[in-house]
Amino acid sequence: MRFSKLFGKTLRQAPAGAESISHRLLLRSGMIAQIAAGIYSYLPLGWRVLRKIESIIREEIDKAGGQELMLPVLQPFELWQQSGRDVSFGQSLFTLTDRKEHKLVLGPTHEEVITELAHRYVQSYRDLPLLLYQIQTKFRDEPRPRGGLLRVREFIMKDLYSFDVDEAGLDESYEKMSQTYKNIYARLGLPALIVEADSGAIGGKESHEFMVITETGEDEVIYCSNCGYAANAEKAQSAKARIEDVIASRSPEQSEGAAKQFLPLEEIATPRCKTIEEVASFLGVSTNQTFKAVFYSADGEFVFVVIRGDLEVNETKLRNTLKCSELRLATEGEVSEAGIVAGFASPIGIKDVKIVADDSITLGANFIAGANKAGYHFKNANYPRDFQVDLIGDIALAHPGDNCPKCGSMLSSARGIEVGHIFKLGTFISEKMEAFFLDQEGVSKPIVMGSDGIGLGRLLAAIVEQSHDDKGIIWPLSIAPYQVYLCPLYLDNTEVAPLAENVYQELGKTGVEVLFDDRDESPGIKFNDADLLGIPLRLTLSPRTLKSQSIEVKWRAKKETQLWPLENVAAEVNRLLRKKLASQGCAQFLM
RNA sequence: CGGGGUGUGGCGCAGUGGCUAGCGCGCAUGGUUUGGGACCAUGAGGUCGGAGGUUCGAAUCCUCUCACCCCGACCA
């Protein structure tokens, strides 16, 4: 490709509003252009990168036995009503109405459509297992698009659906996809960390996300560098320390029976102490000796949440525990309407309110709790002696510094970009969509499904976030828009121009992808553009190199340059690139 | 949806009631240059996001509205 003919311009300054590194660099290098919030065009360079990413994904999935197909973007709204996800997806669904006043959905994902297909074509256990996938545009009306390609409303995604006869089959498909994803990231030169993820309210027993650790990531990953435990903060657990009650510790001989340690409930005045910190410091205890009360509205129902004072509520876990879809903090009005004295509340004596507790309330004894009366708290509150709860489980947020749930070491946290998600769906959707098969005994069973996704644009952005310097992008060879940046200087020189042209032609013949900077620009502009575009290998030809009948060779990622003989340079470069690609497990050339 | 911010040539910005709306980059033409974003000359390009209002006069003041960005909420 001749640079002079290339559509798209490099920009010296990034458009205002582009803040993340990938957004700035992709705009400046002319790879993408924004048309509206969260909606982008791919220009020729960016599109070449995307297509290379796509073909790597396709190759790896095909290798794992996936069959590619193409599902429609336009989907009948009824299909979504059937699965019930018209509600759970809610506002994020793009909907439209056709001329017959028929409601349609712009597909944000394709479980419904694919399961409808499975319903039609899968009748027997002999038809299973199946791995079906597509690479196609998805639409989600995100509340807030951000970060350039990192979070958008229209995006290209590889979505794969697995169909198995049972959980064991699902586990196998899941493991296969997990390995396939690892292969894909390896070929993309992207260090992706696999972490445990929340599987949402619609069931599904297991889910993992692949994260690229970087500052601009939207997700928080909690991990243990000792044993390798890693999870999305939404899902992460931590070992909650048992708090030995002060009094109990004075009488170790009683410690065998927890109930024996329970001291009588006692009301104490705590004037003006509304927060946990105020109460704890007023009474001279640490926050982990207290109960904290937090109030939510879950699908419209008022919920009283109790958790130990040193911990915080993880709303994702709470949502899953409650099996609700809409969850928000209750308003002051709703709290007082429920007859609760904010700041002095506890479940003790509270009636007709749904109470959810974190299991931390059992890890200790004789806590401080609200007396449900302004200005007073209880001493020696104990569960279940003093109150009952409707639900109890782990609903606490894990923090860096907490202990690892697996090995007890200290947990750390980092920010990450989610570049892939594998998900054991189970039978939730197949039951709703009536995708059943007959097993060997002739018994009708729902197909056990999995669903795995990779957002290609986000992947591209994550690679830039992860591989750049202050000059620009540094593309891995496997996905660079071009492999070689041929950079002749002084094109008006009678020797340089024809030799450069010749090298360009020869490289092309060997199948090397070349961006030929045939523009009459100064060296500074050419070098800076080469760096900005991030083409892996730069070949510079100038009167200076011609003095020794040579050409300068430089890797984008490295500082040093070397001079190669001009003779046979095309064959040598071709050999070098193929060797490098092969060492990365990728011998694919995009012609 | 809550909080904050920005809309002025392709991009970045200046311009707080008064002449024909400026500057840098980019673009076009000609010339001199050029190993890390050169220089000179000439030139093209703008209903100042939109609507309404105040005023002799509005990019500038007022009202409404739209778009975009950031933080939060949200994100099977």
Contact positions of strand B to protein Cβ (< 7 A): 1, 5-6, 11-13, 24-26, 33-38, 67-76
Q: Closest Cα to residue A405, out of A222, A181, A141, A136?
A: A222
Q: Which nucleotide is nearest to A14 (CA to C1')?
A: B11
Q: From residues 412-451 of A, which are strand B contacts by CB within 7 A?
A: 421, 423, 451
- Amino acid making up residue A433: M
Strand, coil or helix: what is A464?
helix
CA distance A30 to A534: 12
Q: From residues 13-52 of A, which are strand B contacts by CB within 7 A?
A: 13-17, 19-20, 23, 34, 36-38
Structural tokens at position A516 = 């030929």
Instruction: Identify the CATH homologous superfamily for domain A480-583.
Output: Anticodon-binding domain (3.40.50.800)
How many C-beta atoms surround the C-beta of residue A432 within 10 A? 18
Spell out the per-residue pLDDT of chain A, length 591, in tens: 999 999 999 999 999 889 899 999 999 999 999 999 999 999 999 999 999 999 999 999 999 999 999 999 999 999 999 998 898 888 899 999 999 999 999 999 999 999 999 999 999 999 999 999 999 999 999 999 999 999 999 999 999 999 999 999 999 999 999 999 999 999 999 999 999 998 765 556 789 999 999 988 999 999 999 999 999 999 999 998 777 654 444 444 444 444 457 888 888 888 888 788 888 888 888 888 889 888 888 888 889 999 998 888 998 888 888 888 778 888 877 888 888 888 888 888 888 888 999 999 888 889 998 988 888 899 999 888 899 999 999 999 998 989 999 999 999 999 999 999 999 999 999 999 999 999 999 999 999 999 999 999 999 999 999 999 999 999 999 999 999 999 999 998 999 999 999 999 999 999 999 999 999 999 999 999 999 999 999 999 999 999 999 999 999 999 999 999 999 999 999 999 999 998 875 444 433
User: In Å, what is the separation between the CA of A587 and the C1' of B28?
Assistant: 44
The domain segmentation of chain A, as residue ranges, is 14-191+427-465, 254-393, 480-583
Long-range CB contacts (within 8 A, 24+) of A584-588: A584/A186, A584/A187, A584/A189, A584/A476, A584/A477, A584/A478, A585/A183, A585/A186, A585/A187, A586/A56, A586/A187, A586/A477, A586/A478, A588/A55, A588/A56, A588/A59, A588/A478
* Dihedral class, residue A434 (left if φ above 0, else alpha if ψ from -120 to 50, else beta): left
**What is the H or E stretch that residue A56 is in?**
helix A44-63
Fold for A254-393, please state it: YbaK protein (3.90.960)
Q: How far is CA A468 from the centre of its chain?
A: 21
CA distance A514 to A481: 9
Question: Using the 8-state DSSP alphabet, how is residue A262 labeled?
Answer: P
Domain A14-191+427-465 coded CATH 1.10.3720.10? no
Q: From residues 367-396 of A, which are strand B contacts by CB within 7 A?
A: none
* Dihedral class, residue A142 (left if φ above 0, else alpha if ψ from -120 to 50, else beta): beta
Same fold, A14-191+427-465 and A480-583: no
A328 touches strand B (CB under 7 A): yes
How many C-beta atoms surround the C-beta of residue A509 within 10 A? 11
A560 touches strand B (CB under 7 A): no
Structural tokens at position A251 = 């009488």
User: In Å, what is the separation between the CA of A330 and the C1' of B5?
Assistant: 29
